[in-house]
Structure 1
Amino acid sequence: MSIAFLLTTLVVVATPGTGVIYTLAAGLSHGRRAGVVAAFGCTLGIVPHMLATITGIAAVLHTSAVAFQTLKYLGVLYLVYMAWATLRDKDALVVEDERAPRSAARTIVSGVLINILNPKLTMFFFAFLPQFVDAGEPGSVASMLELSGVFMLLTFVVFAAYGVLAASVRSHVTSRPRVLTWMRRIFAGSFVSLGAKLAFASR
């Protein structure tokens, strides 16, 4: 495993995107545990893309415009839904009673869907992983699995850090109604912006 792979991976996972926005929102809305759970959900959402790359399914998305566009617009619709849900839920950013935390399953499912419905992630794996694996070696598949595992581990650690950081300031943010309103708008706007970016993305 090279330093170049680790550095590139850190830059990729730390760059704000749909997963980071979702994790920050979860941490601010429901606390540290929800932020970490959201990070776990987003990390699980990487698995299908990883498997698609290793088994060659990514090549189908790469060559089939219909398959790519279908998955892309499903992702756009889900991001628009997330924006609408964020604006609609007036209680989305409140300090909740710790005895009644948000369902972990619901948080994980949302995180998984956010990443599954992002064909650019499959394209990234398709273009990124082979650069660090010698296709001619007998253990190339094992090497790709190892690198994918490291990518997922770093994703979870970085996203969890975002979630915990957001949770650490939630009491200062959620006690101010005006700030809450703007936070909802910012998160909703971020989801719409990311959805628009995905909508105009090409393979």
Structure 2
Amino acid sequence: MLPDPAILLPFTLAVVVIALTPGPDMTFFLGRALTQGRAAGLAAVAGAGTGLLVHTLLVSLGVSALIVAAPTLFTALKVAGALYLLWLAAQAIRRGSALLLPREPGSARSLAGTWASGVAVNILNPKVALFFLTFLPQFVSAGDPNAVAQLFALGTIFVLIGSAINLAIVLAADRFAAGMRRNPRIARAMDWLFASIFAAFAAQLLLARTR
């Protein structure tokens, strides 16, 4: 049920780059770690990962149903997804990543409340839903009889790799945040790497559909 290694390797590379690129998730759990302590940061990471698992389940069931019911529409979804990835690449270069971290202690919250906030950050964010809906299907074939398992496996791998990286960042929150503030070029380099990988995926897909 696992994806082919030829698909899994570039997918893993993309996930690593996405996890390291500053964005709303990173701002959230780093902010909690810096203002409320390491335990709050870890709870925020767990909540964000839970939210992504919910998106993974919804995409797995919804997209797989689309494959069975309307393969042509699924192909159209993949092409639309490729165009969306190109747009994300352009936005990363044009605007850059945002990492606006609080410098003052925040109000204390329970770990359960922080976890719930992490879940909400991803579940209630339409951009996250759109990203999962367009990113994961790029790695599944329209005629794949194991689409549900493939999509869920990819989504789970996405969450596991991303959470592992995020946990490491939280454990070194002070040094990581200070380093990002001192070296904005690092974040800018991640923007370009993020854009390059997504543009390559999108171009490959679009060229394949025009042959």
TM-score, with length taken from structure 1: 0.59
Inter-partner Cα distance in structure 1 for 2:146 and 2:51: 25
Identify the residue that residue 49 of structure 2 maps to in structure 1. 43
Of 85, 105, 112 in structure 2, the residue corresponding to residue 105 of structure 1 is 112
Q: Per-residue deviation at 1:31?
A: 2.0
Query: Aligned match of 1:53 in 32, 56, 59?
Result: 59
Among all aligned residue pairs of Structure 1 and Structure 2, give the percentage whose two residues are the same amino acid. Answer: 36
Consecutive unaligned residues in structure 1, runs of 5 or more: 63-82, 94-100, 173-203
Q: TM-score, normalised by structure 2?
A: 0.57
1:151 and 1:169 map into 2 onto residues whose CA distance is 22
Query: Residue 45 of structure 1 aligns to a residue in which SS?
Result: helix
Structure 1, residues 6-38: CA drift from partner, whole Å, max 9, x if none? 011111122111110011111111222221111
Residues 101-129 of structure 1: CA deviation (Å, up to 9, x unaligned): 84110110111111112111111111111
Q: Which residue of 2 aligns with 1:23?
A: 29
Residue 106 of structure 2: aligned partner: 92
**Stretches of structure 2 lacking an aligned partner (at least 5 in a row):** 67-76, 78-99, 179-211
Distance 1:164 1:22 in 2: 14
- 1:151 counterpart residue number: 158
Paired residue secondary structure (1:56): helix
Indicate if the aligned counterparts of 1:27 and 1:166 stay in contact, CA closer than 8 A.
Answer: yes
Say which SS state the counterpart of residue 22 (structure 2) adopts. Answer: coil
Q: Determine whether 1:128 maps to 2:158.
A: no
1:92 alignment partner, SS class = coil
Render the CA deviation track for 1:25-56: whole Å, top value 9, x for unaligned.
Answer: 11111222221111111111112322221222
| Alignment equivalent of 1:115, drawn from 122, 132, 148 | 122
Q: Tell me how many residue pairs correspond in the alignment.
A: 138
CA RMSD of aligned residues (A): 3.0
* Whole-angstrom distance in 2 between the partners of 1:25 and 1:136: 43
